[in-house]
Amino acid sequence: MLTSGEAAPNFEGVAHTGMRVRLSAFLEKPVVVYFYGADRSSEATTTARAFRDDWMRLMETASMVIGVSADDRVTHRDFATGEKLPFLLVADEKNAIAKAFGVPVDNGRCRAVTFVVGKDGKIARVLDATPPEGQSAAVLKALEVLP
């Protein structure tokens, strides 16, 4: 798995909105890229709701939150709509993005890991063992110390 200081892959994918997403397009400020197993799982729902609820605070220092899982765009759209998520969910059906970040994949589902990518395109922080209910708070804390 990629670690702090390494270059983040400049991935490209399609978000639930149909928008083409490229990491480099958001690097005017830090970007949060979080991987999770599946839409509507309890872990994913808890994490997504926390990011949604902290959205305004996150946007003070980050340019975007991007959720990535192997679910397809339609499943992402339904999840994002149902939960009123203001951020992007990117379909990674072949786990290519997860593999580029070195995120472990088991039975087609990636492990929950969050990367904070600095505006220099390098990984600033990896949150690998943070419980879902603490993800957003941990990200906010990590963003506070970035230039």
Do the domain assignments include residue 134?
Answer: yes
pLDDT digits over 113-128, tens only? 999 999 999 999 999 9
Q: Is residue 69 part of a domain?
A: yes
CATH code, domain with 41: 3.40.30.10
Structural domain containing residue 96: 12-144
Instruction: Classify residue 115: in a domain, yes or no.
Output: yes
3-state DSSP of the chain: CCCCCCECCCCEEEECCCCEEEHHHHCCCCEEEEECCCCCCHHHHHHHHHHHHCHHHHHHHCCEEEEEECCCHHHHHHHHHHHCCCCEEEECCCCHHHHHHCCCEECCEECCEEEEECCCCEEEEEECCCCHHHHHHHHHHHHHCCC
Number of domains observed in the structure of the chain: 1
Q: Does the pTM exceed 0.75?
A: yes
pLDDT tens track for 4-39: 999 999 999 999 999 999 999 999 999 999 999 999
Does a structural domain hold residue 2? no
What is the reported pLDDT for 129?
87
